[in-house]
Amino acid sequence: MEDYKIPKHVGIILDGNGRWAKERGLKRSEGHKEGFETLKTISKYIFKKGVKVLSVFAFSTENFKRSNEEVDYLMNLFIKGFKSSIKEFNDNNIKVVFSGRKEPLKDKVYEAMEELSYKTKDNTGGILNICLNYGGRAEIVDTTKKLVNAVLNGLINVEDINEELFEENLYNNLPPMDLLIRTSGEVRISNFMLYQAAYAEMYFPKSYFPDFKEEEFDKALDVYNKRDRRFGGINEKK
Ligand code: IPE
Ligand code: IPE
Ligand code: MG
């Protein structure tokens, strides 16, 4: 199709790993393991489709409320998973960046994040933004502090602060989100990229994240293409 639109920035709230495992009589951790594999497969596919930025919600600041066992499992999965996928991301020319707070992540987790982002920093085939220990409100607060400090240090004037400057000073300087997908049928944002998603089209497929395969993303693109994005204006063509 000639004018088939490909969103520039896609966000995915990776949800339903636990329910996916439960339905199969498996431990929640098995769902997380499978979810990580799906993340690698689907991100490669999404970039091949022409998407430039993919932001995924992997662990929220609120997810520390879960049992120690589950949090430890996830942190170890991140350590092992990031280390073992450096080559795969490089082979696919994917640059990985992270969004989130450092505290209270253990050094080993943070080091694995740093290593993955450093070793993929020159790749040009798409940016995978992994939101880990991330909260949308926390990001807005942290950005505000950064700008206040810049004012106090005489680097900028209060009058310089506008929406563009704010966007540039978020954890990563990314374009606005065009399409936000949340798997597992839940219909809420759960504190994901509040600033970036202001005008995102939203799509809530029923499938659990481990089942979110290529065809599921194609469906999301079809839905996106049927949407009429107006950004507060009027679409003269309609
Ligand atoms: C998403 O799956 C992964 C994380 C939040 C880390 P869940 O673990 O939230 O799975 P459900 O929602 O319990 O099924
Ligand atoms: C949101 O999922 C966070 C991530 C996907 C990392 P949750 O499963 O934690 O969200 P709630 O608790 O259902 O809102
Ligand atoms: Mg969940």
- Tell me the residue range of the domain where 19 lies: 9-135+176-226
Distance CA 125, CA 92 (A): 7
Task: For residue 195, tell me if it sits in a domain.
Answer: yes
- Atom 2 of ligand 2, residue of closest alpha carbon: 15
Q: Which residues contact residue 25 at a Cβ distance below 8 angstroms, ignoring those fewer than 6 apart?
A: none
CATH number of the domain where residue 109 is located: 3.40.1180.10
- Atom 9 of ligand 2, residue of closest alpha carbon: 63
Compute the distance from residue 79 Cα to the ligand 1 centre, in Å: 18
Q: Position 95: which residue type?
A: K
Q: Do 9 and 178 meet the contact criterion of CB atoms below 8 Å apart? A: yes
pTM (whole model) above 0.95: yes
Task: For residue 57, tell me if it sits in a domain.
Answer: yes
Q: Which of 136, 52, 50, 35 is nearest to 97 (CA)?
A: 52
Question: One of 3, 15, 72, 157 is an active-site residue; which one?
Answer: 15
Q: Do 224 and 7 meet the contact criterion of CB atoms below 8 Å apart? A: yes
Confirm whether 63 is a catalytic residue: yes
3-state secondary structure of 123: coil
Task: For residue 151, tell me if it sits in a domain.
Answer: no
Residue 1: per-residue pLDDT: 54
Distance CA 47, CA 126 (A): 6
- First-residue to last-residue Cα distance in the chain: 19
Task: For residue 208, tell me if it sits in a domain.
Answer: yes
Q: What is the pLDDT along the chain (238 residues), one digit of tens a residue?
A: 569 999 999 999 999 999 999 999 999 999 999 999 999 999 999 999 999 999 999 999 999 999 999 999 999 999 999 999 999 999 999 999 999 999 999 999 999 999 999 999 999 999 999 999 999 999 999 999 999 999 999 999 999 999 999 999 999 999 999 999 999 999 999 999 999 999 999 999 999 999 999 999 999 999 999 999 999 998 876 6
Task: For residue 161, tell me if it sits in a domain.
Answer: no
- Atom 14 of ligand 2, residue of closest alpha carbon: 190
Task: For residue 41, tell me if it sits in a domain.
Answer: yes
Distance CA 84, CA 62 (A): 27
Domain count of the fold of the chain? 1
Task: For residue 48, tell me if it sits in a domain.
Answer: yes
Q: In the block, which residue shows the tokens 């490909």? A: 6
What sign has the CA pseudo-torsion 152, 156, 157, 158?
A: negative
Confirm whether 15 is a catalytic residue: yes
Distance CA 164, CA 57 (A): 23
Distance CA 11, CA 212 (A): 14
| Gyration radius from the chain CA atoms | 18
